[in-house]
Amino acid sequence: MKFNRFWNVVVAQGSCNSEPKINHRCDAQGNWYYQIYNPQADKHNEFGTEQEVRMWLDQQHYR
């Protein structure tokens, strides 16, 4: 269930201004990471794993 919620947030980027925007990016060294923009706090966060993103989403009450 949580997996579906995670990907629903990823797919629905931009559908609501208060929802976090999640991007899966690759740095210059070829390392993949997740970048999240939280419009409610006007802050960017970066995480190395999907699990870290899920924990952050749970802490932010994006349910």
**DSSP secondary structure letter of residue 41:** T
3-state helix, strand, coil in the chain (%, to 5): 35, 30, 40
Name the residue range of residue 38's domain. Answer: 2-60
pTM: 0.67
* Residue 20 confidence (pLDDT): 92
Per-residue DSSP letters for 11-50? HTTTSSTTS-EEEEEE-TTS-EEEEEEETTTTEEEEESSH
Measured between its terminal Cα atoms, the distance across the chain in Å is 11
Total domain count for the chain?
1
- Model confidence pLDDT, tens digit, residues 5-35: 676 666 655 555 789 999 999 999 999 999 9
In this structure, the number of other CB atoms found within 10 A of the CB of residue 5 comes to 14
